[in-house]
Amino acid sequence: MYEGVVQDLIDELGRLPGVGPKSAQRIAFHILQADPTDVRRLAHALTQVKEKVRFCTVCGNVSEADLCRVCQDPRRDPSLICVVEEPKDVVAVERTREFRGRYHVLGGAISPIEGVGPDDLRIRELMQRLADGTVTELILATDPNLEGEATATYLARLLKPMGLKVTRLASGLPVGGDLEYADEVTLGRAFEGRRLLDV
């Protein structure tokens, strides 16, 4: 335990995902020894991101405007929607350069253990987007783990009566993992080899 503000910093850092007590301590001491200009830049980036960044009103991706970059781009195919769990998955898919459609960010995955049900995700918003008939194919690109599979199956059943083409990324992605950890080539292939979901 350290005194006052140093401990406060360690505690705050320790609340971040993936940062254990040891890492929190290491980062705190790095900041203590860093150049004041660098620390001010970090502090500025932290406050700016909360002030300026919000979520796209259509797809739920991070955005500095009402609509995100993808939703604003008229060259992106509006008939194709790739459904992902988190904004970071949009970044992962964009890196592959394989996908020219639009996105829908659910904001998580169905997880009974963590108390996340369908109503906690942006599924209602997705159904609203499908209402006008523009969208003809949905690619369910939720993570290749238990929660992601459960979410894809739930969505496929929900979408079935609408007669849309519903596909899931091809196998080959590391099972149990997170979409963002797949390399571009593997993820790109998974898009090309996507298969129809029959539920």
Q: Which residues bind Zn ion (CB under 5 A)?
A: 56, 58-59, 61, 68, 71
Nearer to Zn ion, 28 or 84 (CB): 84
Least distance in angstroms from the C-beta of 89 to Zn ion: 13
- The DSSP call for residue 181 is G
Nearer to Zn ion, 77 or 149 (CB): 77
Q: Could you please report the per-residue DSSP string of 83-141? A: EESSHHHHHHHHHHT---EEEEE-SS--BTTTTB-GGGTTHHHHHHHHTTS---EEEE-
Least distance in angstroms from the C-beta of 60 to Zn ion: 7
Least distance in angstroms from the C-beta of 61 to Zn ion: 5
Residue closest to 173 by CA, chosen among 153, 155, 149, 151: 149
Nearer to Zn ion, 68 or 126 (CB): 68
Cα–Cα dist 88/106, whole Å: 12
What is the sign, positive or negative, of the torsion defined by CA atoms of 97, 99, 103, 109? negative
Nearer to Zn ion, 68 or 159 (CB): 68
Least distance in angstroms from the C-beta of 51 to Zn ion: 20
Quote the radius of gyration of the chain (alpha carbons, Å). Answer: 20
Contact 92, 187 (CB under 8 A): yes
Nearer to Zn ion, 24 or 179 (CB): 179
Least distance in angstroms from the C-beta of 90 to Zn ion: 9
